[in-house]
Amino acid sequence: MAREKDRIIERAQKISHKKGLKKVIKEYQRIIEEDPTDFKTRIKLGDTYLRRGDLTKAIKEYFQIGEYYIKEELDLKAIAIYKKILVLNPSMIEAYYKLTNLYKRRGLFGEAKIQYQKILAIDPKERKAKEGLRQLENKEVQRSHHEQGETTAEDYIRERDPVRNAILQELQRQLSSQLRNGDYQTHYHLGIAFKEMGLLDKAIEEFKIAIMDQNLEFDVYVMMGICHREMGGYDEAIEYLKKGLKIKNLTNKQYEHIYNQLGLTFEECGQTKNALDAFNKVNKLRGANSSAEFQSKVEKLKEQLREG
């Protein structure tokens, strides 16, 4: 079975068109049915769903992977996978709760508090989040009274920005023990997590490793483009996004996504005509599904060009 599975996975990596991906999904499902603990294949199944544009099924697989990581106490991998889920669906409250529990388990109460706040921004009536936030705030008050007059600048930074300190140190300490050679999926997930934390340099480092997996090529180019844009490196951002456009057999959804990111980048660096060209391509791909808000953005750019 092991050799057959390797042949299936090797064949799957060479397929990108939709009909081929459908067959790949059936093969992956068959492998998982025979061995439900094969989470490497489950990751590939989730990523294949994502390549087909089926976010619901992809997220379902990623959730099961996250549960497995939690059970195995691979908290850093679990954090990365739930961050990825929230990139795909920022309104998924269950994923925020998973992150909250993971952060609390590691003593990162400031980051746990942020997750509760994000839940309440989605649903202000969420009682569990209200209670969890109240408990964390009470802990903060108690700690503040206990340490009154003894807070150093380093303590302040750690409390105000726990992600850039405690979790970064923890990631650096455990990264070598949790990652194996060729584990490009996890490098990609960590890149997503670093990006969400605002650690863009670290994210780019992880994406540069993940690009070695051909199946991740499109997603990596998009994320590298976004990271460089957020850092103000517009030339680099445009270069990576254009590399993504050169990948063969992209789906309409992928073209739409990357042209939208190009449009945002051109718009941000003042290249109005190029931004308009990119957004027009997005409009064409979306057809009747293009939102009124997006149409308004396009009209404003047209007006800017006429006035210029």
Mean pLDDT of 178-189: 68
Average pLDDT, the chain: 80
CATH number at 36 reads 1.25.40
Q: Which residue has the higher pLDDT, 247 or 105?
A: 247
Residue 116 lies in a domain: no
Residue 305 lies in a domain: no
**Does the pTM of the predicted model rise above 0.75?**
no
Percentage above 70 pLDDT, the chain: 79
Mean pLDDT of 70-94: 87
Q: How many domains does the chain have?
A: 1
Question: How far is Cα 47 from Cα 41, in angstroms, rounded to an integer?
Answer: 10
pLDDT value, residue 87: 83
Across 49-53, 230-234, 242-246, least confident range: 49-53
Residue 29 lies in a domain: yes
Mean pLDDT of 201-217: 89
How does pLDDT run across 116-142, given as a tens digit for each residue? 999 999 999 999 999 999 988 887 666
Residue 133 lies in a domain: no
Would the pLDDT of 33 be above 60?
Answer: yes
In the chain, what is the straight-line distance between the N-terminal and C-terminal CA atoms, in Å? 65
Residue 248 lies in a domain: no
Full residue range of the structural domain in which residue 63 is found: 1-72
Mean pLDDT of 20-48: 86
Across 70-79, 89-98, 154-163, 192-201, least confident range: 154-163
Binned at pLDDT 50, 70 and 90, residue 53 comes out as confident
